[in-house]
């Protein structure tokens, strides 16, 4: 998606975030496993910005790596003197940029590309408004700033809750804080903003009244309340997460995935899942999961960093960790953990196993309770299991070790040496039998007890 004129994004994130009660910068708290700020930068990037400036107060060093990685720039607002003052801090970094400026909040991460594109498009409509403001009508308008606008969207006044009359407070159209303006208009207007108000702050919304005084009209466009949901506390973080998850679940279902109990499935920001997959209740996806078509994920499975091929069956109660590659029609059953391991086509590990740093050939069968002993407390070692091999229950495979193609390992073995193709390996104590021993033992003990 491209807009007609070059634009820069200015993301405000200098607020103290006190209510988070956190040592982590507010905008780094994750939604669906990804920092709020990164969600926002990702959407902005999709629109092809010329520049991205993030305005922070304290904690510059925390956000810098993320912003650098996305080729943005961090600027510092030493004192939090208000939203207008915050935007002003970006002026030098914009270095005479003369396109459009999109003003976003780092703690309002759900804004969609479409809304941002609409803001820019509205700014460049034939009537050339000075400022485009995104308004919304929350179910509880609380202490949001209010927008007094005509039916055609022309803004007559913007007023902060603290400064508003009862009548103004009764207006339900609220200021989301998101705005768009041409750079030259914006910084000229910002230079005129004062702080003679209830909060003693430099209010960004004041640019709308300043533009009006110079004969320029500003307009409001409305967005859905969920999109404008901000994060000021852990409770609001959870609410925003819930909104994100609800939308992701709907998208999964629209894309042809059956979610048996949608509210209990948790996606990560980057989960990929194909058509005709079925996800049973209480499944959690961490980051880095790719699932092909026709896969069944059964209840209570936890999956991250895994690649799952067509027709595989996972769970119930399976745990796939980073580097798990599950082949076509393979099966990973209950209480099986797979880490950095490949299961070939049709391979099965159905019960109670740990498979780590391993390569399991096609159609191999891993018996219940099999453990790859991959770690000696210092290093990790690989296990290789050939195609069609059969590993008996309760086997410990002490890595590094290789079990050959079509080999069979007897149950209860501790395998420390390689097993050849087609061979049987049994590595456990030999079974002895003493005929009649149990009966003799019992009568001897019974006699002893009687005597005693």
Instruction: State how far the alpha carbon of 287 is from the alpha carbons of 242, 252, 304, in Å.
Output: 17, 16, 5
Rule CB under 6 A: choose which of 49, 109, 205, 404 binds ligand UD1: 205
Residues near 307 by Cβ (< 8 Å), separated by ≥ 6? 289, 290, 324, 325, 326
Rule CB under 6 A: choose which of 3, 88, 124, 176 binds ligand UD1: 176
Nearer to ligand UD1 (CB atom), residue 3 or residue 77: 77
Q: Which stretch binds ligand UD1 (CB under 6 A): 198-206, 241-249, 354-362, 425-433?
A: 198-206
Query: Which of the residues 218 through 237 are near ligand UD1 (CB under 6 A)?
Result: 230
Rule CB under 6 A: choose which of 204, 221, 397, 409 binds ligand UD1: 204
Rule CB under 6 A: choose which of 13, 90, 332, 419 binds ligand UD1: 13
Report helix, strand or coil for 350.
Answer: strand
Nearer to ligand UD1 (CB atom), residue 159 or residue 425: 159
Q: Are 371 and 354 in contact (CB under 8 A)?
A: yes
Residue with tokens 């002895």: 432
Q: Which residue is nearest to ligand UD1 (CB)?
A: 145
Is 351 tagged catalytic? yes
Q: Which stretch binds ligand UD1 (CB under 6 A): 174-182, 383-391, 405-413, 437-445?
A: 174-182
Alpha helices per DSSP H over 257-310: none
Nearer to ligand UD1 (CB atom), residue 139 or residue 443: 139
Alpha-carbon gap, residue 102 to 49, rounded angstroms? 10
Q: Minimum distance between the CB of residue 247 and ligand UD1, rounded to whole angstroms? A: 20
Radius of gyration of the chain (CA): 31
Alpha-carbon gap, residue 188 to 15, rounded angstroms? 24
Element (H, E) at 366: strand 365-366
Binding residues with ligand UD1: total (CB under 6 A): 26
Residues near 119 by Cβ (< 8 Å), separated by ≥ 6? 102, 132, 134, 178, 179, 180, 221
Nearer to ligand UD1 (CB atom), residue 59 or residue 205: 205
Residue with tokens 């026709």: 294
Q: Which stretch binds ligand UD1 (CB under 6 A): 202-210, 289-297, 304-312, 316-324?
A: 202-210
Alpha-carbon gap, residue 327 to 324, rounded angstroms? 10
Q: Minimum distance between the CB of residue 277 and ligand UD1, rounded to whole angstroms? A: 38
Closest CA to 265 of 247, 238, 290: 247
What angle, 0 to 180 degrees and rounded to 10, lies between the N-to-C axes of helices 60-69 and 36-46? 30
Nearer to ligand UD1 (CB atom), residue 231 or residue 366: 231
Query: Which of the residues 121 through 160 are near ligand UD1 (CB under 6 A)?
Result: 144-145, 160
Rule CB under 6 A: choose which of 99, 106, 153, 344 binds ligand UD1: 106
Report helix, strand or coil for 100.
Answer: strand
Query: Which of the residues 69 through 98 are near ligand UD1 (CB under 6 A)?
Result: 77, 80-83, 85-86
Q: Minimum distance between the CB of residue 160 and ligand UD1, rounded to whole angstroms? A: 5
Q: Which stretch binds ligand UD1 (CB under 6 A): 99-107, 182-190, 258-266, 425-433?
A: 99-107
Give yes or no for residue 341 binding ligand UD1 (CB under 6 A).
no
| Residue 421 CB coordination number (10 Å) | 14
Alpha-carbon gap, residue 179 to 10, rounded angstroms? 10
Q: Which stretch binds ligand UD1 (CB under 6 A): 43-51, 131-139, 175-183, 319-327?
A: 175-183
Instruction: State how far the alpha carbon of 399 is from the alpha carbons of 255, 347, 373, 385, in Å.
Output: 42, 20, 6, 11
Nearer to ligand UD1 (CB atom), residue 16 or residue 275: 16
Q: Minimum distance between the CB of residue 188 and ligand UD1, rounded to whole angstroms? A: 18
Site residues (CB under 6 A) for ligand UD1? 12-15, 55, 77, 80-83, 85-86, 105-107, 144-145, 160, 174-177, 203-205, 230
Residues with catalytic roles: 351
């Amino acid at each position: 998606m491209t807009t007609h004129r070059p634009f820069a994004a200015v993301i405000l994130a200098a607020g103290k975030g006190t209510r988070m009660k956190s040592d982590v910068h507010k905008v780094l708290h994750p939604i669906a496993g990804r920092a709020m700020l990164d969600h926002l930068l990702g959407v902005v990037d999709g629109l092809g910005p010329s520049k991205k400036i993030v305005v922070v107060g304290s904690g510059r060093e925390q956000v810098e790596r993320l912003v650098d990685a996305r080729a943005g720039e961090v600027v510092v607002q030493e004192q939090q003197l208000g939203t207008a003052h915050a935007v002003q801090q970006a002026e030098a970094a914009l270095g005479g940029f003369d396109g459009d400026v999109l003003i976003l909040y780092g703690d309002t991460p759900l804004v969609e590309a479409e809304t941002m594109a609409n803001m820019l498009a509205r700014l460049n409509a034939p009537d050339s408004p000075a400022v485009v403001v995104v308004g919304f009508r929350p179910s509880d308008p609380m202490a949001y700033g209010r927008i007094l606008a005509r039916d055609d969207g022309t803004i007559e006044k913007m007023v902060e809750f603290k400064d508003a009359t009862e009548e103004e407070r009764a207006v339900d159209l609220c200021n989301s804080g998101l705005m768009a303006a041409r750079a030259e208009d914006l910084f000229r207007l910002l230079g005129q903003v004062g702080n003679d108000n209830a909060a003693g702050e430099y209010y960004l919304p004041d640019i709308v009244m300043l533009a009006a005084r110079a004969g320029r009209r500003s307009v409001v466009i409305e967005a859905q309340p969920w999109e404008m949901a901000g994060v000021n506390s852990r409770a609001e973080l959870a609410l925003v997460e819930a909104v994100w998850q609800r939308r992701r679940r709907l998208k999964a279902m629209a894309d042809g995935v059956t979610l048996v109990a949608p509210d209990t499935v948790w996606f990560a920001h980057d989960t990929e899942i194909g058509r005709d997959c079925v996800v049973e209740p209480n499944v959690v996806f961490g980051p880095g999961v790719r699932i092909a078509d026709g896969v069944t994920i059964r209840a209570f499975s936890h999956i991250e960093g895994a690649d799952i091929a067509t027709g595989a069956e996972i769970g119930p109660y399976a745990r796939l960790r980073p580097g798990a590659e599950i082949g076509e029609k393979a099966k990973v059953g209950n209480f099986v953990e797979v880490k950095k391991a490949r299961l070939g086509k049709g391979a099965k590990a159905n019960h109670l196993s740990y498979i780590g740093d391993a390569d399991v050939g096609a159609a191999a069968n891993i018996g219940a309770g099999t453990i790859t002993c991959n770690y000696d407390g210092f290093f990790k070692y690989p296990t290789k299991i050939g195609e069609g091999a059969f590993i008996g229950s309760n086997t410990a495979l002490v890595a590094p070790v290789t079990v050959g193609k079509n080999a069979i390992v007897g149950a209860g073995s501790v395998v420390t040496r390689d097993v050849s193709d087609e061979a049987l390996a049994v590595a456990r104590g030999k079974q002895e039998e003493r005929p009649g021993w149990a009966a003799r033992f019992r009568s001897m003990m019974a006699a002893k007890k009687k005597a005693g």
